[in-house]
Amino acid sequence: MADLQRRNAIKSLAALFGAAITPVAATQLFDKTDDNHFEVLKTAAHRDVVTQMQAVILELEPNDQLYFNLVAFTDLMLANTLTLTERTACVKGAELIAEGVLSSSQLVNKLTSLFTISSQQQQRIIAQQALPFSEVSLDKRDEYLIYKCIFTVREFLLLGYFTSEKLQAS
């Protein structure tokens, strides 16, 4: 039974990946070698948030972080799979996360505190994410945008990591 579930998960992931990445988008990913090619993560603060989320979520070594190029992959996915409204919410969330942070260690600490929440708070945040932005109370909008960014970027980081060539070769 577990083998069948694993096969279904792999098939679903492959279908998602195949639908999300067109040949043109894949070519664009390989062309992203400098800061001028980012479509959604245009500022260094946006890219820093994704880089530090990668470090917190995947716990990659610095050498592996360079190999996987997950920041460029995340930017590509944001640009090609989300609506303009979703992209805008994600970028605004990244700005709110980076706000007031002066160093990468402060950013890691802030991200870690956003991930280490109680189960009650987690349930509340998940319920809040199910609502459209217009229905979120004014005092909770920043939190909504921060977690919209976290959930979206986390999904793309995991997708990029688990479908990478390096893991498939292992």
Tell me the pLDDT tens digit for each residue of 138-153. Answer: 999 999 999 999 999 9
Q: Give the three-class secondary structure for 21.
A: coil
Question: Cα-flanking dihedrals φ and ψ of residue 54, to 5°?
Answer: -60, -45
Report the alpha-carbon distance of residue 145 to residue 110 in Å, rounded.
Answer: 15
Per-residue pLDDT tens digits for 78-115 = 999 999 999 999 999 999 999 988 788 889 889 988 88
pTM above 0.85, yes or no: no
Quote the DSSP letter at residue 37: G
Report the alpha-carbon distance of residue 129 to residue 151 in Å, rounded.
Answer: 9
